[in-house]
Amino acid sequence: MKKALVIGINKYPNAPLSGCVNDAEAFASIIEKNGDGTPNFDVKIRTDVPTKANLRRLIIELFNGDSDSALFYFSGHGFINELGGYIVTPDYERNDEGVSMDEILIAANASEAKNRVIILDCCYSGAFGSPKITGGLSSHIAKGVTILTASKDNETSLEVNGHGVFTNLLLDALQGGAADLNGHITPGSVYAYIDQALGAWDQRPVFKTNITKFISLRTIAPQVSIEVLRKLTEYFPTPIEHYPLDPSYEDTNTLQIEHKVVRPYAKLKNVTIFKNLQKLQSIGLVVPVDEQFMFFAAMNSKACKLSNLGYHYWRLVKDNRI
């Protein structure tokens, strides 16, 4: 069982925002289903939560129980002072700005949920996970907790074109930009995607975790089927071998098509293998030898081999990890 609490707040009395409800609604929509339409997170979305008490109650409910995953997403104002960071609610007042990040961390750390994921798109969100009681210089994160924030603890988080800069990239990552070749999207791959998209002068995302294995936030259809990936060790018994090709692997090399053909003519078995090799080449796992394209590697009786990334996936197949 996977559950998610998604919060977006625009209606602050003296400092309204415009993109946070959009952020929350878009995030909730994408996280509740996988790419194939199957259920993912059971989402509870609340927008413009009016008070600290209401938000605190929702957070406590999220982290109660022993679910497989409990995910908290917040888009709104953030605040920091000498006592720590806060996610701000519309009833904020001086010296009582919102729900303390340290308080949320305590609830997440104490939760019996196997995996707890906190995603914050607000100013100074990088303070989350580093309690002020310890000087804010070290993280105190229980096993199974992962934190992904839009900015460092001394940075603001920007809105552009109706979305937070961070959440806009987060949504792209969850749509598939951060997927691995198996179609899995993890907190680590999401962070890597966002990190690469933001420059040295932009707000910098923060990633903190205490886990032994990444969970999947969402899955999409893999670029190449698992069945084809598993053929890596069949085509390449060892990772340094070359797979020899000849014209019989190219399906257009047949007398049924009016153009120049060469022997040996296309054979169905070889054509099937070659199509799989081309799929593997399209995702960077296989490369032609001494030719720029796989077509010419076949027509000129050359070969193909594993790329460095291909060796990684070859090893995963060999070790029954795929």
* pLDDT range class, residue 186, cuts 50, 70, 90: very high
The residue-averaged pLDDT of 160-176 equals 93
Do residues 243 and 201 both lie within one domain?
Answer: no
Per DSSP (E only), the strands in the chain are 2-8, 42-47, 69-75, 78-81, 84-93, 96-100, 115-121, 145-149, 159-160, 163-164, 184-185, 206-210, 218-219, 242-244, 286-289, 303-306
Do residues 131 and 191 both lie within one domain?
Answer: yes
Do residues 164 and 261 both lie within one domain?
Answer: no
Do residues 131 and 42 both lie within one domain?
Answer: yes
Do β-strands 69-75 and 84-93 pair in parallel, antiparallel, or remain unpaired? unpaired
pLDDT of residue 133: 56
Q: Which tokens sit at 86?
A: 């806060």
296-311 tens-digit pLDDT:
999 999 999 999 999 9
Contacts 24+ apart (CB under 8 A), 44-48: 44/3, 44/4, 44/5, 44/6, 45/6, 45/7, 45/8, 46/5, 46/6, 46/7, 47/7, 47/8, 47/9, 47/10, 47/21, 48/8, 48/9, 48/10, 48/11, 48/21, 48/90
Do residues 184 and 106 both lie within one domain?
Answer: yes
Do residues 133 and 240 both lie within one domain?
Answer: no
* Domain boundary pick from 219, 245, 263: 219
Say yes or no to pLDDT of 314 above 90: yes
State the pTM of this model. Answer: 0.86
Question: Distance between CA 88 and CA 46 in Å, rounded?
Answer: 14
Percentage above 70 pLDDT, the chain: 97
* pLDDT range class, residue 152, cuts 50, 70, 90: very high
Among 148-152, 217-221, 249-253, name the one with the lowest average pLDDT: 249-253
233-273 tens-digit pLDDT:
999 999 999 999 999 999 988 777 666 778 899 999 999 99
* Domain boundary pick from 219, 238, 266: 219
Say yes or no to pLDDT of 135 above 70: no
The number of distinct structural domains making up the chain is 2
276-295 tens-digit pLDDT:
999 999 999 999 999 999 99
* CATH number of the CATH domain containing 145: 3.40.50.1460
pLDDT of residue 254: 79
Which residues span the domain enclosing 111? 2-219
* Domain boundary pick from 204, 219, 234: 219
Do residues 73 and 127 both lie within one domain?
Answer: yes
Do residues 119 and 193 both lie within one domain?
Answer: yes
Do residues 147 and 280 both lie within one domain?
Answer: no
Q: Specify the amino acid at residue 272.
A: T
Distances (CA, A) of 147 to 62, 87, 225, 259: 16, 14, 31, 59
